[in-house]
C-alpha cells in the first residue's frame, strides 16, 4: 500500500526544486567561481540543497494553509538573499556577509550605483514566485496539503543531515581545515554555498560577540610579544623630519596605480599627479588592504594600523571599541584633527566612529552647499568640494591633521559633459570606459586644491599625503582590463592591480621613487614617526615605510600577500620576476604563516576589544611611574 505521507505534488517539492535550480544557475552565470575538477562541480551543485531542504522543510510543522504561506514567504526571502549576493558581486566581486546585509543605513545613499548594477534579466529570478503566488491565490488545490506524519518528518530531516555531511565531507577532501581558515570567502562559498555561508557567518558573528564579552586581557600577551618582536626602529634621518608641520591627507576614491603615466587617445589620464610624484616621496609598491568596508576600511587602516574585519566594516561592527588611533595620539601632541567629506555623516557610521577615533571635527554634507549644478553621481563634485573646504582649513588651529575624502571617481563613474577632459575608453566594459574621464577630473580637482594651498600660504607648512582607498575596477571587468593592459588578467595580475598610489610631499625634501613593498597598514607608524612621535609601545601591525630593516611585505584581507620576490594568492605562490608559479612553493610558507598570524592577531584585538585592557595597563604603569 502506497504511503500517503508525501503527496505526488506538493509546494515543498516545487519550491525546493526551483530554489535549487535558480541558485545553481546564479553560480554559473552571475558568479565567477573557478572549478578545477568534477568533484568541485559536484560540490557546487549540491551545496545549496541542505539549507533549502532544511529551511523549507520546517513547513512540515505547520498545518493547513499556513504551511504553503510559510514556504511562499521563505522562498521570497531566500531569493532576495540570492539576488542581494548577485548585485553585490557584480561590483565588489565578493559575497555578502551578515554585517553587510544589515548595513541598511548605507542603502539610501547608494543611489545610481545600485541602479547601474540591476539588469532587466534579473526579473527571471522572481518569475517563479509570481507564478506560484498566482496559483496559491487562484487555484490552491493544485498543491496537495495533507498532514505529515512524525515518521515522515524524521526521515526527511535525516536526509537533510546526510546531504549536509556529505557536502561537508566532500569539501574537506578538496579543502582541508575549510572552516578554520576563513580568510577567503570565495573558497567557503564554493564549498558550503551562499546560504550555509550566511549561517556560518552568523556563528562567527556570535563568536565575535562572545569573544568580547569573555575577553579578560590575557590574550594580549602573545600579541604584544609578536608586535614587539616585529617592531622596526625608525630611520634616524626621517624621524621627526616633519615635526610640527600640518598634515593634509587626500584620499583618492577608487584610484588604482595602473592609470599613472598612461594615456587615452594621446591624452594623459593623470597629468598633474604624474608631475606631483616627481616632487614627492613616491611609493611604487603600495597596496590597498581593505575588505568589505572599502573606504571606511582604508580609514581604519590609516588611523589604527590594524587590519579591517574579514566580514562587514569595523566602522559598523566595532565602532565603540577602545582604539589608540592617530587622531587621539596627535590630539595629545597639540594637533587639531578633522575629516572633511561631503557625504551623509552617518554613511559607514562615520559620525560614531570618528568620535571613537578621537577626531575633533567632522565636516560632512551639512557643512557644504550642495546643489544639482555642482553635484554628480554620489554627490558634490571634487572641485567644488575642495573649493568650499579651503575656508574650513584656513580657520583651523595649527598644527592640524586633516583628511579629505574625494567622491567623484566612485562607481558608476558618472560625469557631466562640461567636466570631461579626456574621452572614454573603448572596450566591452562601460564601467572601465567611464573610469578614465572621472580619474582625469579627480586629477584636476587635486591640482586645483594644491594651488589653493599655495595661494593661502599652507603648502610649505604642511606635509601632503596623497593615497587611495581601494580598487575601482573589479575582476568582473578582467577582459576589458586585459585589453587596456595588453595582457591577460591572471590571478597574479589581479592581485598586482590592488596597487594604489602613495605620495608624501615634505617641504624642503626632494622627491624620489621608493620601491619598498608596503600597504595602508603602514601609514600610521610612518606618519607618526615623520612627526617625531614614537610608536614602539603601541599595538600595531604596520611598520614604518622608511625603516631601514623593514620587511618588504603587504598582506591583503583575503590572506594574499606580496613581498619583493613573491606574490601569493588563491593558494598559489608566484615568482614576481616571471609572473609564473614557483617550482618550490615552500618558499612562500614562512610568509603564509606570518600573514595568517597577523590577520588572526589583529582580528582578536578588534573582536575582543583588547585595547581596552592595554590602555588600562598603560594607565596603570603611568600612575606607578608618577608615584615613584
Residues with Cβ within 8 Å of 130's Cβ and at least 6 positions away in sequence, in order, are none
Residues with Cβ within 8 Å of 209's Cβ and at least 6 positions away in sequence, in order, are none
Cα 252 to Cα 485: distance, rounded to the nearest angstrom: 21
The answer to whether 42 and 170 are in contact (CB under 8 A) is: yes
Residues with Cβ within 8 Å of 212's Cβ and at least 6 positions away in sequence, in order, are 607, 608, 609
Cα→Cα distances 130→76, 175, 328, Å: 10, 39, 55
* Cross-strand partners of 286: 518
Helix (H, G, I), strand (E, B) or coil at 515: strand
Residues with Cβ within 8 Å of 303's Cβ and at least 6 positions away in sequence, in order, are 323, 325, 326, 327, 357, 524
Q: DSSP state, 462?
A: E
Cα 614 to Cα 195: distance, rounded to the nearest angstrom: 38
Q: Is 295 a catalytic residue?
A: yes
The gap from C-alpha 15 to its chain's centroid, in whole angstroms, comes to: 34
The answer to whether 310 and 98 are in contact (CB under 8 A) is: no
What spatial distance separates the first Cα and last Cα of the chain, rounded to whole Å? Answer: 91
Q: Which of 270, 290, 295, 516 is catalytic?
A: 295
Cα→Cα distances 339→447, 489, 533, 541, Å: 20, 36, 21, 24
Antiparallel, parallel or unpaired: β 462-468 and 281-287: unpaired
Q: Could you write out the DSSP letters of every residue in 178-207?
A: GGG--S-HHHHHHHH-HHHHHHHHHHHHHH
Omega prior to 186 cis, within 30 of 0: no
Catalytic residues: 295
Amino acid at each position: 500500500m502506497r504511503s500517503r505521507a508525501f503527496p505526488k505534488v506538493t509546494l515543498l517539492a516545487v519550491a525546493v526544486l526551483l530554489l535549487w535550480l535558480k541558485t545553481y544557475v546564479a553560480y554559473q552565470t552571475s558568479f565567477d567561481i573557478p572549478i578545477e575538477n568534477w568533484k568541485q562541480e559536484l560540490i557546487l551543485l549540491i551545496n545549496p540543497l541542505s539549507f533549502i531542504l532544511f529551511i523549507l522543510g520546517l513547513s512540515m510543522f505547520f498545518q493547513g494553509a499556513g504551511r504553503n504561506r510559510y514556504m511562499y514567504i521563505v522562498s521570497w526571502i531566500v531569493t532576495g538573499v540570492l539576488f542581494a549576493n548577485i548585485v553585490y558581486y557584480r561590483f565588489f566581486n565578493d559575497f555578502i556577509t551578515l554585517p553587510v546585509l544589515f548595513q541598511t543605513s548605507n542603502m539610501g545613499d547608494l543611489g545610481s550605483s545600485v541602479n547601474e548594477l540591476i539588469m532587466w534579466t534579473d526579473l527571471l529570478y522572481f518569475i517563479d514566485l509570481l507564478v506560484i503566488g498566482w496559483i496559491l491565490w487562484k487555484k490552491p488545490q493544485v498543491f496537495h496539503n495533507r498532514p505529515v506524519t512524525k515518521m515522515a518528518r524524521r526521515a526527511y530531516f535525516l536526509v537533510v543531515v546526510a546531504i549536509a555531511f556529505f557536502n561537508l565531507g566532500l569539501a574537506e577532501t578538496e579543502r582541508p581545515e575549510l572552516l578554520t581558515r576563513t580568510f577567503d570567502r570565495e573558497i567557503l562559498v564554493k564549498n558550503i554555498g551562499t546560504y550555509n555561508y550566511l549561517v556560518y557567518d552568523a556563528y562567527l558573528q556570535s563568536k565575535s560577540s562572545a569573544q568580547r564579552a569573555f575577553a579578560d586581557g590575557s590574550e594580549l600577551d602573545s600579541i604584544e610579544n609578536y608586535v614587539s618582536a616585529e617592531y622596526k626602529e625608525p630611520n634616524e634621518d626621517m624621524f621627526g623630519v616633519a615635526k610640527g608641520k600640518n598634515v593634509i591627507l587626500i584620499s583618492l576614491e577608487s584610484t588604482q596605480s595602473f592609470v599613472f603615466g598612461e594615456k587615452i587617445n594621446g591624452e594623459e589620464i593623470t597629468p598633474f599627479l604624474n608631475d606631483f610624484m616627481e616632487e614627492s616621496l613616491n611609493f611604487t609598491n603600495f597596496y590597498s588592504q581593505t575588505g568589505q568596508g572599502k573606504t571606511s576600511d582604508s580609514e581604519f587602516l590609516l588611523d589604527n594600523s590594524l587590519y579591517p574585519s574579514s566580514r562587514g566594516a569595523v566602522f559598523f561592527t566595532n565602532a565603540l571599541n577602545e582604539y589608540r588611533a592617530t587622531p587621539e595620539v596627535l590630539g595629545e601632541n597639540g594637533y587639531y584633527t578633522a575629516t572633511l567629506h561631503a557625504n551623509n555623516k552617518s554613511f559607514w557610521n562615520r559620525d560614531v566612529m570618528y568620535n571613537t577615533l578621537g577626531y575633533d571635527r567632522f565636516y560632512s554634507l551639512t557643512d557644504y552647499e550642495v546643489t544639482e549644478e555642482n553635484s554628480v553621481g554620489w554627490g558634490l563634485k571634487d572641485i567644488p568640494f575642495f573649493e568650499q573646504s579651503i575656508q574650513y582649513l584656513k580657520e583651523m588651529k595649527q598644527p592640524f591633521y586633516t583628511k579629505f575624502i574625494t567622491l567623484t571617481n566612485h562607481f558608476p563613474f558618472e560625469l557631466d559633459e562640461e567636466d570631461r577632459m579626456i574621452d572614454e575608453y573603448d572596450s566591452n566594459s562601460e564601467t572601465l570606459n567611464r573610469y578614465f574621464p572621472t580619474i582625469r577630473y579627480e586629477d584636476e580637482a587635486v591640482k586645483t586644491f594644491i594651488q589653493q594651498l599655495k595661494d593661502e600660504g599652507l603648502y610649505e607648512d604642511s606635509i601632503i599625503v596623497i593615497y587611495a582607498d581601494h580598487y575601482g575596477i573589479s575582476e568582473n571587468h578582467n577582459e576589458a582590463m586585459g585589453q587596456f593592459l595588453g595582457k591577460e588578467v591572471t590571478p597574479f595580475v589581479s592581485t598586482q592591480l590592488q596597487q594604489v598610489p602613495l605620495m608624501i610631499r615634505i617641504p624642503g625634501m626632494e622627491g624620489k621613487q621608493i620601491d619598498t613593498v608596503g600597504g595602508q597598514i603602514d601609514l600610521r607608524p610612518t606618519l607618526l614617526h615623520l612627526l617625531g612621535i614614537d610608536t614602539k609601545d603601541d599595538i600595531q601591525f604596520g611598520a614604518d615605510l622608511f625603516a631601514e630593516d623593514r620587511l618588504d611585505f603587504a598582506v591583503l584581507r583575503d590572506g594574499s600577500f606580496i613581498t619583493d620576490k613573491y606574490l601569493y594568492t588563491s593558494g598559489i605562490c608566484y615568482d614576481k620576476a616571471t609572473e609564473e608559479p614557483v617550482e618550490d612553493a615552500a618558499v612562500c610558507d614562512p610568509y603564509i604563516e606570518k600573514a595568517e598570524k597577523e590577520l588572526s592577531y589583529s582580528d582578536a584585538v578588534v573582536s575582543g576589544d583588547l585595547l581596552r585592557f592595554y590602555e588600562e595597563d598603560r594607565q596603570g604603569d603611568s600612575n606607578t611611574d608618577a608615584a615613584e
